[in-house]
Structure 1
Amino acid sequence: MHFASLLILALANTAFANSSTGCKKELPPAFPNPGESTPLDLPGTDRDYRLYIPSNYNPKNPTPLYISLHGANRNMDEQERLSQFSNPLFNPDGIAVYPNSRNGYWLSNPKAHTSRPNDLDYMYDLITHLEDKLCIDRNRIYAAGKSNGAGFAGVMACNATVGSKIAAFASVSGGYYNISDIPGLGPCSPAPRDEGYPFLEFHGTKDTISPYDGGGRDDKRPVIDVLEEWAGRNGCPKDARWNSNVTVFEHPLVKHASWNCGGKKGIVQHYREGDWGHCWASTVPNGDTEAFWKQCIPGKYVFNATEVIFDFFSGYQLKA
C-alpha cells in the first residue's frame, strides 16, 4: 500500500477514534430531517430540548455538537432564534442542541430552586443520549450561553463530569454567581486535562442586568474576576492581566483582551463592548433588540458574536 493511502487510512481511523456510538445508525423517527430543527423530550426524564441537524449530516462522518443555553425567563425556541446556531451561515456542518431549563432558570441562579443539582445530570444525560443516537465527534463538543445560560456554561466547565466532555466554552452577557454558595456544588473543580479550558466572554459595559463590575440583581460577580480565574486555571499566575488588549472597533468601541496561559495562546479571550447592554451582538435585529431595546439598539452592532464564537471553537478539540 502506498504511503498516501496509509496516511488517508490513518486519518480516517483517527477521526473515528473518538466517534460516538450513534455513528452508522439511521436517524430516529422523532428526530428532525437534515436541515431542520424540532422540539424533543429526553427519554426517561421530564426534560425537553430542541435539536437541529445540518443538511449535510452523514451518519458515517463524526460531526461536532454545539450546545446553546438560553437566559433566565427564556426558553429553547427563543435561544435558537437569538444565537443562530442553526444558521448554516455560521454553522454549516454541526449539530446544534438547545436545552430547556426546568422553570426558566439554570443552576447557579438563586431562582433555580427545582434544578439543584439536576441541571448537571440533565446535561450529562442529554449529551450521552445524543452521542448514542447521532454520529458525534466527542472531541468536538462545545457549549455557549446567554446571561443565566452563560453562567451555567461556566458551572458546567467547573464540573469534572460534565465539563470533561466539552472542548471549549463561550459566554455572552454572563450572569456569574459564587457557586461555592450553592448547595451541592462547592468550589470550581474542573477535570484536569492537558488541553486546558478555552473560555470566550462577551460583555457590554452598559449591562444593567449582569453589570460589568458586578452587583445588580442577586449580587453578581465582576467580569474581570471570572476571566482572571479562568486564566489561572489555564496556568497563568494568580490575578494575571491580559497579554494583549486591543481596540477592534472604534464606533462603537469594542476592545479585545486575550490571555496566553500554560503555553496556550489566547486560551482565555474577552470582548468588552463599550456603551452596549445585555445583548447578543448581531449586525441584524434579534431577540435582544426586541426584549432589551433600550440597551440593544438595532443597527448599532458592528460584529456577530455567533461568528466569533464558531471561529473560537474551531481552534479547540479534546485529545482522543
Structure 2
Amino acid sequence: MKIVYSSSLITVALLAAGVTSASVSGCGSDIPSAFPNPGRSKSLRLPNFDREYRLHIPANYDKNKPTPLYFSFHGATRDMNEQESLSQFSNPEFNPNGIAIYPNGKNGLWLSNPNADTSRPNDLDFVNDLLTHMEEKLCIDPRRVYAAGKSNGGGFTSVLACNATVGRRFAAFAAVSGAYYDTDQTPGVGPCAPAKRDEGYPFLEFHGTVDVTAPIDGNTEKHPKLAVIDILKGWAERNGCGANAQWARNETVFENPLVKHASWDCQGKNGIVQHYREGENGHCWPLTVSNDDFINQGSRCPLGKYVFNATEYIFDFFGQYQLNP
C-alpha cells in the first residue's frame, strides 16, 4: 500500500537534508484560537476531514521551542475522551513538556480490527493528515513524534509502524494489551513493510497474563488474534535480530504479582524491542492507582490497580529515541 501526500513528502525530504525542526513546523506562530490554551485539553475536528480528535497543550508550551508530540489511540468501541483519562498522556506528572493528541477512531474502531472501516480515506490517511496539521499549526519537533495505544489502538500502533509512508514520521511505538490481527489480507493495510531507516523501529509492549479479550498467547476464534511473542519477534527481526530471535534479557522486575521484562538487542541497538509480561493482570492499562479500566472493566481487570505505571515506562522509552535529521 502506498499513500502519497505532498506535505509529508516535503517533511521527509527536509529532514533528510538536515534542516532543523523549526523550519518544518509552526514554530513562531501563536496557538490557533480554536485550540486549547496551554495546560488545557479540547475536542476538535480536523479541517476538511470528518474526524475528531482531542488535543492537550502543556502549560509550559513555547511557540519558539520545538515540542514532542504523543499520539494515544483508544481501544475498540471506546473514544478519545476515555483514552485521555486512561492513558494519562495529558498528566504533567508523566508528560510535563509534550503535546498529547487523542484521535477518534472511525465508528470506534481502528485498522487491524476485522470490523474496521477500510474505505479511503482510512485511519492511516487520517493520522498522516492530522500530524501534518499539527506540524503546520504548532511548534512540533518532527524528530520526536510517538504513538501508543490500548487494545485495538495498540494493534493499530503496530499497523502504523508497518506503514512506510506514515510510520516513517514516528520515532517510537508502544502498545498496551494490544489486539493483533493478521492484516496481510486487510484492504488498506497489507503486509508489514516499514520504511528502511537507520534508527530502527523501537517497539514496547505490555500484556497481562490473564487477558481474555486479547490473550497473550493469541486465540483461534473467527478472527484470530496473534500471539504477542510473534509480534515481538517480528519487530526484533525487522530491527536486524534475525528470524525467531531470542531476547537478550528476561528479568523479574516485580515478584508479587510476577512481572517479567524481556528486551532484544539488535544491530547494536540495546533494548530496541521490549515487553512487560504482567502476571495476574487482565485487559488493563497498568497504573498504581485505579483507572477507568479497573473501575468499569472489573471482570477483565480483577486486581483493581497494578504495581507499576505503564505510562511512566512509555515516556521513559520514548525519551530514548528520535528520528535522525
Could you say what secondary structure the match of 2:184 adopts? helix
**What does residue 170 of structure 1 align with?**
174
Could you say what secondary structure the match of 1:66 adopts? strand
**What does residue 129 of structure 1 align with?**
133
RMSD: 1.4
CA offsets 1:46-91 (integer angstroms, 9 cap, x no match):
1010000000000000000000000000000000000000000000
**What does residue 309 of structure 1 align with?**
314
**What does residue 226 of structure 2 align with?**
221
Instruction: State the Cα distance separating 1:299 from its structure 2 match.
Output: 4.8
In structure 2, the gaps of 5 or more residues are 1-17
Q: Could you tell me the TM-score, scaled by structure 1's length?
A: 0.93
**Aligned amino acid, residue 55 of structure 1:** A
Q: Where do 1:278-317 residues align within 5 Å? A: 278-297=283-302, 299-317=304-322
Q: Where do 1:54-69 residues align within 5 Å? A: 54-69=58-73
**What does residue 44 of structure 2 align with?**
40
Is the CA contact 1:179–1:185 (under 8 Å) kept in the aligned structure 2?
A: yes
State which of 238, 242, 246 in structure 2 corresponds to 1:237: 242
State which of 97, 102, 109 in structure 2 corresponds to 1:105: 109
- Structure 1 segments of 4+ aligned residues over 4 angstroms from their partners: 114-117
Is the CA contact 1:39–1:48 (under 8 Å) kept in the aligned structure 2?
A: yes
**Aligned amino acid, residue 248 of structure 2:** N
Could you say what secondary structure the match of 2:265 adopts? strand
Instruction: State the Cα distance separating 1:32 from its structure 2 match.
Output: 0.2
Q: Could you tell me the TM-score, scaled by structure 2's length?
A: 0.92
Distance 2:86 2:74 in 1: 9
Matched, 1:211 2:215: yes
State which of 236, 244, 252 in structure 1 corresponds to 2:257: 252
Distance 1:71 1:17 in 2: 32
Q: 1:103 to 1:235 in 2, by over 3 A?
A: same
Matched, 1:143 2:147: yes
Is the CA contact 1:102–1:115 (under 8 Å) kept in the aligned structure 2?
A: no
Is the CA contact 2:118–2:188 (under 8 Å) kept in the aligned structure 1?
A: no
Instruction: State the Cα distance separating 1:185 from its structure 2 match.
Output: 2.3
Instruction: State the Cα distance separating 1:20 from its structure 2 match.
Output: 3.5
**Aligned amino acid, residue 311 of structure 2:** T
CA offsets 1:275-297 (integer angstroms, 9 cap, x no match):
11001000111110023212324
Is the CA contact 1:153–1:170 (under 8 Å) kept in the aligned structure 2?
A: yes
Could you say what secondary structure the match of 1:179 adopts? coil
Could you say what secondary structure the match of 2:197 adopts? coil
Could you say what secondary structure the match of 2:241 adopts? coil
Is the CA contact 1:20–1:62 (under 8 Å) kept in the aligned structure 2?
A: no
